[in-house]
C-alpha cells in the first residue's frame, strides 16, 4: 500500500510545480513572439497570465492591424488559455509632439 501513496504523491508534485512554470513560459513565449513581429516594433505591450486561466494584453499599439497581430500571436502561444486584448490603438499623430514651439503669452515682469 505505501507504494501506491508514493505514486500519488509523485504524480501530484510535478503537476503543481509545473503550473507556475507553465504560466511563466506562456508569458515569456508570447512576449518574445510579439517583440519579433515587425508590425509591433513600436508597440508597448505587456503580457500578463492571470490565475493560470487567461492572458491579458495591455498597452498601446500603432494600428488596428498591430492590435490584431498581437492578439493572434498571443492566442498562438497561449497554450489554450483565453486571451483578453485590452490594447489601445494610438496613432503616431496623436502622440504629443510639439509641431511648433509654444508662445509665451504671460505678461513679462518688468
Tens-level pLDDT at each residue, the chain (110 residues): 555 544 444 433 333 334 444 678 999 999 999 999 999 988 999 999 998 899 999 999 999 999 999 999 999 999 999 999 999 999 766 545 445 555 566 676 66
Q: Are strands 44-50 and 54-61 parallel, antiparallel or unpaired?
A: antiparallel
Picking from 64, 43, 45, the residue whose alpha carbon sits closest to that of residue 56 is 45
Q: Is the pTM here over 0.95, yes or no?
A: no
Q: Domains plus CATH for the chain?
A: 14-92 (3.30.300.30)
Q: H or E element: which one contains 94? A: none
Amino acid at each position: 500500500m505505501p507504494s501506491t501513496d508514493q505514486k500519488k504523491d509523485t504524480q501530484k508534485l510535478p503537476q503543481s510545480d509545473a503550473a507556475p512554470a507553465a504560466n511563466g513560459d506562456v508569458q515569456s513565449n508570447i512576449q518574445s513572439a510579439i517583440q519579433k513581429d515587425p508590425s509591433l516594433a513600436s508597440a508597448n505591450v505587456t503580457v500578463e497570465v492571470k490565475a493560470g486561466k487567461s492572458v491579458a494584453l495591455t498597452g498601446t499599439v500603432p494600428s488596428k492591424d498591430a492590435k490584431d497581430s498581437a492578439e493572434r500571436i498571443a492566442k498562438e502561444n497561449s497554450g489554450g488559455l483565453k486571451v483578453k486584448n485590452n490594447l489601445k490603438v494610438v496613432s503616431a499623430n496623436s502622440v504629443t509632439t510639439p509641431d511648433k514651439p509654444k508662445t509665451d503669452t504671460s505678461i513679462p515682469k518688468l
